Amino acid sequence: MNNPEKPNPNKGMPAKAVVEFHCSGHATGKMRNELAVTMVKPFEEHFELATDEGKFHGGDASAPPPLAMFVGALTGCIMTQVRAFAKRMDVSLKGLDVEARVQWDWTARDRIYETAPRSFEIDVLIDSDDDREKVRQLVAAARKGCFIEQTLGQKNTIRHRIKTASGWETA
């Protein structure tokens, strides 16, 4: 429901858009990766990130490991959506904390291992003067607006290619 007294935060955006990110990674150090992340659609933003591993993988722990960034991104995504949508849905937000727990199964396979997701649990702690139903609606909207949660909630196809002397081949 649009409130005529408040500006529409979606004004100027199309009814539908593609959001696209690109990332280029370069291996440095023992296990460190330098990442250049660019949002290319619907507008352009650039970010420099790094990941590293601890001793288990032979790294120096000079940056968070990819899984820590993944869980942090999931937590930050839902928090961002709650805060953004609280304004749009006129829900008072005096405080917000989110606690996420993510588990994977890890299975040794000779000298390598395989993984599989086990559980994703997210507790949203909202301090609000509004009634519980209004807060539930806010969390439901935030879940639908969280790119990462929506990605995790469905089956995805991920394609890998390997650069060869004759061109790109499917891995």
In this prediction, residue 8 carries a pLDDT of 75
Mean per-residue pLDDT over the chain, rounded: 91
> For the chain, where do the domains classified as CATH 3.30.300.20 start and end?
65-153
Q: Measured between alpha carbons, how far is 84 from 98 in angstroms, rounded to an integer?
A: 15
Instruction: Say how many C-beta atoms besides its own lie within 10 A of residue 67's C-beta.
Output: 13
- The fold of 65-153 is GMP Synthetase; Chain A, domain 3 (3.30.300)
Let me know: does 129 contact 94? Beta carbons within 8 Å: yes
The pTM of this model reads 0.84
Let me know: does 126 contact 135? Beta carbons within 8 Å: yes
Let me know: does 143 contact 122? Beta carbons within 8 Å: no
| pLDDT cut 70: percent of the chain above it | 96
Let me know: does 63 contact 51? Beta carbons within 8 Å: yes
Alpha helices in the chain (DSSP H): 66-88, 132-145, 147-152
What tens digit of pLDDT does each residue of 59-96 get? Answer: 998 999 999 999 999 999 999 999 999 999 999 999 99
In this prediction, residue 75 carries a pLDDT of 95
In this prediction, residue 9 carries a pLDDT of 74
Q: Using 50, 70 and 90 to split pLDDT, how confident is the model at 5?
A: low
Rounded to the nearest 10°, the torsion over CA 158, 47, 73, 85 is -110
Q: Measured between alpha carbons, how far is 151 from 110 in angstroms, rounded to an integer?
A: 31
Q: Please determine, for residue 3, whether its predicted confidence score (pLDDT) is greater than 60.
A: no
| Nearest alpha-carbon partner for 95 in 114, 110, 82, 104 | 82
Q: Using 50, 70 and 90 to split pLDDT, how confident is the model at 4?
A: low
What tens digit of pLDDT does each residue of 101-126 get? Answer: 999 999 999 999 999 999 999 999 99
Q: Tell me the mean pLDDT in the region 140-166.
A: 94
